[in-house]
């Protein structure tokens, strides 16, 4: 039995037992593995990830995208990564299981090692439930000298967590719009004062540039380090701003089909 299989056996045994003693909770946290990124878009950031492959919410969004192709989850990049890095996505699933099955105290979460100033929540996946969201907020409280940014789509889970835990001062919360080109999602920042920014994927470069010209902040796939970690830094993007990114990884035909679907949606 390899290390991962041993970890799975330990986690499932504790969950099935259902007692979650202090000792068992510390065992679970010793298995939790945040990822420090040495390359790629979020180079220099530590991410605490769930699993888009195994999260019930993510699965429901992918199913919804079968009927509405403008739902961005239909083109989830993690599905492709799972074929290349099964060990990575499996570990993310285990992380999510740990964080979504029981609440940890702030003091217990201080034991989680974070290897960078900035922490990203949900580079993979979304909130499975409110327990996971509450643990993420408590993790931020436990590491109050770090800057933590949470991306989410699962509003009920995140809303319940905020109601019960409050919003730590070192946290930025970004709502990721479910649909491509959906600028109506910006209203979320008015409805929920704890949402700092809304991240919107635009169907093509012209639409992305138009959004930026109207005041949206430019993401567009460049590395966070090159941007100055503006989604994380205390003096980063202004609160209330849209963060715009052009849809990547689709061919010309798919992009044209999406533009038609977006136009049809606007006519309804």
Portion of the chain with pLDDT greater than 90, in percent: 81
Instruction: Give residue-wise pLDDT tens across range 142-158.
Output: 999 999 999 999 999 99
Domain boundaries, the chain: 3-267
Q: How many CA atoms lie within 13 A of 268 on its CB side?
A: 6
* 33: pLDDT strictly greater than 70: yes
Paired sense of beta strands 35-36 and 46-48, if any: antiparallel
Q: What is the pLDDT of residue 157?
A: 97
Q: What is the pLDDT of residue 37?
A: 93
Q: What is the pLDDT of residue 151?
A: 96
Confidence at 77, pLDDT banded by 50, 70, 90: low
Long-range contact set of residues 33-38: C-beta below 8 Å, sequence gap at least 24? 33/91, 33/94, 33/95, 34/95, 34/112, 34/113, 34/114, 34/115, 34/119, 35/88, 35/123, 36/115, 36/116, 37/123
Confidence at 51, pLDDT banded by 50, 70, 90: confident
B/e letters for 77-97, b = 16+ CB within 10 Å, e = fewer, are: ebeeebeeeeebbbbbbbbbb
How much is the mean pLDDT over the chain? 92
Mean pLDDT of 191-214: 97
Mean pLDDT of 128-151: 97
Mean pLDDT of 192-214: 97
* 83: pLDDT strictly greater than 70: no
Higher pLDDT, 266 or 19: 19
Mean pLDDT of 166-177: 97
Long-range contact set of residues 235-242: C-beta below 8 Å, sequence gap at least 24? 236/172, 237/196, 237/197, 239/189, 239/196, 239/197, 240/189, 240/196, 240/197, 241/197, 241/215, 241/216, 241/217, 242/183, 242/186, 242/197, 242/198, 242/199, 242/200, 242/211, 242/215, 242/216, 242/217
Instruction: Give residue-wise pLDDT tens across range 217-228.
Output: 998 778 999 999
């Amino acid at each position: 039995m390899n290390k991962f299989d041993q970890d799975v056996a330990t986690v499932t045994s504790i969950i099935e037992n259902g007692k979650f003693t202090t000792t068992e909770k510390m065992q679970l946290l010793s298995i939790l593995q945040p990822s420090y990124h040495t390359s790629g878009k979020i180079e220099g950031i530590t991410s605490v990830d769930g699993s888009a492959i195994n999260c019930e919410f993510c699965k429901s969004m992918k199913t919804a995208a079968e009927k509405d192709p403008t739902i961005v989850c239909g083109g989830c990049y993690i599905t492709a990564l799972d074929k290349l890095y099964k060990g990575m996505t499996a570990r993310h699933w285990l992380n999510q299981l740990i964080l979504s099955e029981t609440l940890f105290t702030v003091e217990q979460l201080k034991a989680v090692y974070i290897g960078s100033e900035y922490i990203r929540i949900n580079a993979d996946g979304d909130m499975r439930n409110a327990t996971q969201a509450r643990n993420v907020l408590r993790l931020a409280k436990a590491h109050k000298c770090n800057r933590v940014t949470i991306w989410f789509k699962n509003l009920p889970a995140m809303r319940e967590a905020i109601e019960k835990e409050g919003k730590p001062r070192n946290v930025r919360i970004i709502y990721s719009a479910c649909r491509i080109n959906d600028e109506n999602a910006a209203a979320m920042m008015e409805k929920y004062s704890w949402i700092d920014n809304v991240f919107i994927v635009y169907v093509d470069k012209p639409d992305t540039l138009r959004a930026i010209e109207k005041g949206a902040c430019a993401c567009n796939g460049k590395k966070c380090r090159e941007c100055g970690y503006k989604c994380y830094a205390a003096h980063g993007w202004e609160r209330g701003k849209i963060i715009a990114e052009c849809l990547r990884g689709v061919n010309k035909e798919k992009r044209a089909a999406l533009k038609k679907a977006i136009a049809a949606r606007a006519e309804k």
